[in-house]
Amino acid sequence: MHRRAARSALVLSVAATLAVAGCGSKSTDNGSSGGGTGGSSSGLSIVPQVLLDASGAQVASADVTDAADPAGSGNASCQGVSIAMAGALTGANAALGQNILNGAKLALDKHNKNNPNCQVTIKQFDTEGDPQKATQVAPNIVSDQSIIGLLGPAFSGETKATGPVFNQAGLPFLTASATNPTLTQNGWTTFFRGLGNDNSQGSVVAKYLTGTLGAKKVCVIQDDSDYGVGLAKVVTENLGAGADAACSASVKTGQKDFSAAVSQIKAQNPDAIWYSGYYAEAAPFVTQLREGGVTALFSSGDGTNDPEFVKQAGESAKDAILTCPCIPAPSALADQYEALSGQAPGVYSVEGYDLTTIMLAAIDSGVKDRAGLLGFVRNYDGQGVGKRYQWNAQGELSNALIQIYKVN
């Protein structure tokens, strides 16, 4: 009875907390705009709710009017320079890489249309999100001297595997999505992270679940990726006594049968579940949880925060809480993005757009090589679409914001 009452209180807490939303959703079904991250045939969408700072305090969302414009002045002159994008463009989690690429393409489209004497190209390298495959394409990227900057890699595991190659080649690599905290502890001097890391996301998640939502007992589930393991560690540490070791579990990327984890979780009757991993596994996992009679709040991070999660999980995704150290696209940018790519912006789309804009600004300023781009990024301090970009000596942003979303 006590656990049932606690869960009922948690549901009421979620409803009350999310009532402050006021942000619209972005649905791939009806094309309505407002800054969310997509919908599905079930009619559900991932809707932005509240924006939090690294301490967990709510931050007012505001329309940015001074964001850097990739179109530039229109007077830029360049020849033979390009940037690259590396990430999962095919495979189980390809939507995450495509979100970044489409954001980059929008920035490039604006730039090239306005600068006839400076036509910058983006060269695409598909890693499928696999560290081993990423190491195979990395030499092709660094050997192409026309490439002076890299957007990516997208995932933490592939970034860890290829970072030494890019760093040794002096190639600036700006990730829109790799969040494992240890990436900036490798001594790389050419790596820049365009969003908060898992330390900031994990600590805010823990405070939100146990504080704002009132969860007393949380099961932490992780996949075996560098991202999943790293984020789960931070969340567990910050949950403290709220993390129930009796229902913590590990799953594998590519896994389809989660019956053992479902039984383990059901036996412990938690208030909430935190899943650290990607949507390819999160979707069947939450589906099997609901089919198994587990009604606890399902929550997960940026690796799950994609319309594909809702599409694949259907009604089982309803009421899921998703987080991301990324910014949803405002309405005007979302409309431009959809007009160009034919789909709604998703998680990391804005970061892909902003980081590409920064590299284009460098090129427009006269930068022609990797060393010039590196110096430009190191000293950069400018407003993007929702956050300010300025990096410390380790390549971390000077400020980190966490967006809370709900599937409804």
The tens digit of pLDDT for each residue in 112-135 reads 999 999 999 999 999 999 999 999
The tens digit of pLDDT for each residue in 43-83 reads 999 999 999 988 888 887 766 778 999 999 999 999 999 99
Sequence ranges of the domains in the chain: 82-197+329-406, 204-324
Q: Please give the pLDDT value at position 116.
A: 97
Residue 32 — φ and ψ, nearest 5°?
Answer: -70, 145
**204-324: in CATH 3.30.230.70:** no
Q: Please give the pLDDT value at position 65.
A: 76
Tokens of 238: 């910050």
Average pLDDT over the chain reads 90
Instruction: State the pLDDT confidence band at 379, using cuts at 50, 70 and 90.
Output: very high
Instruction: State the pLDDT confidence band at 351, using cuts at 50, 70 and 90.
Output: very high
Q: Please give the pLDDT value at position 62.
A: 60
Instruction: State the pLDDT confidence band at 268, using cuts at 50, 70 and 90.
Output: very high
The tens digit of pLDDT for each residue in 179-233 reads 999 999 999 999 999 999 999 999 999 999 999 999 999 999 999 999 999 999 9
- Tell me whether domains 82-197+329-406 and 204-324 share a fold: yes
**82-197+329-406: in CATH 3.40.30.10:** no
Mean pLDDT calculated for residue range 273-284: 97
Instruction: State the pLDDT confidence band at 40, using cuts at 50, 70 and 90.
Output: low
Q: Please give the pLDDT value at position 193.
A: 98
Instruction: State the pLDDT confidence band at 138, using cuts at 50, 70 and 90.
Output: very high
Q: Please give the pLDDT value at position 63.
A: 64
> What global pTM score does this model have?
0.84
- Higher-confidence residue: 29 or 3? 3
Asked if residue 160 has pLDDT above 70, the reply is yes
Instruction: State the pLDDT confidence band at 84, using cuts at 50, 70 and 90.
Output: very high
Asked if residue 316 has pLDDT above 60, the reply is yes
Instruction: State the pLDDT confidence band at 143, using cuts at 50, 70 and 90.
Output: very high
Q: Please give the pLDDT value at position 11.
A: 42
Q: Please give the pLDDT value at position 318.
A: 98
